[in-house]
Structure 1
Amino acid sequence: MTTRRAAAFAWVAGLLAGCATPEWVYEKPGVTPAKLDHDSVTCRKEALDPQVLVLPGSERVDRAAFNRCMVRKGYTARTVDKPR
């Protein structure tokens, strides 16, 4: 396998793996959609990491830091499989 072909294969494999990542859900009893949005925006700003490598158009958010922030605000974080 040529280097170029191996690199293309690795890129496609990474892209497909990114598509298969689970969706995060944050739950908190009695929270309004507006409050959830506000808390999400606040935590996203707190968790921005310019050193995270992402595909163009994606956010550079440190998921672990974002989850810790949401948990501190009283949410339960869990993953669900994305529908196909």
Structure 2
Amino acid sequence: MMMAFFFVSDSFVNSQEWTLSRSVPELKVGIVGNLSSGKSALVHRYLTGTYVQEESPEGGRFKKEIVVDGQSYLLLIRDEGGPPEMQ
């Protein structure tokens, strides 16, 4: 099984090109929590299988194609950093 992940910017995720190019169902996951609680480390570990000790306060958006019960899905992961009023 081939796994890949990509960092995608907000403007690209919301673009018509991104929306029209998908041919698999999508699953959306939001990762929220207090500052320095390990959200970004958890996402990075899931995507790459490695641990990164550096903090990433800005969060990010990522995508990964996954297979569940023989069906392909595009997993969209949103890692939110900072207080809710700043997101």
What band does the TM-score fall into relative to the shorter chain? under 0.3
Give the TM-score normalised by structure 1: 0.25
Greater fraction strand? 2
Rg bigger for which structure? 1
Give the TM-score normalised by structure 2: 0.25
Greater fraction helix? 1
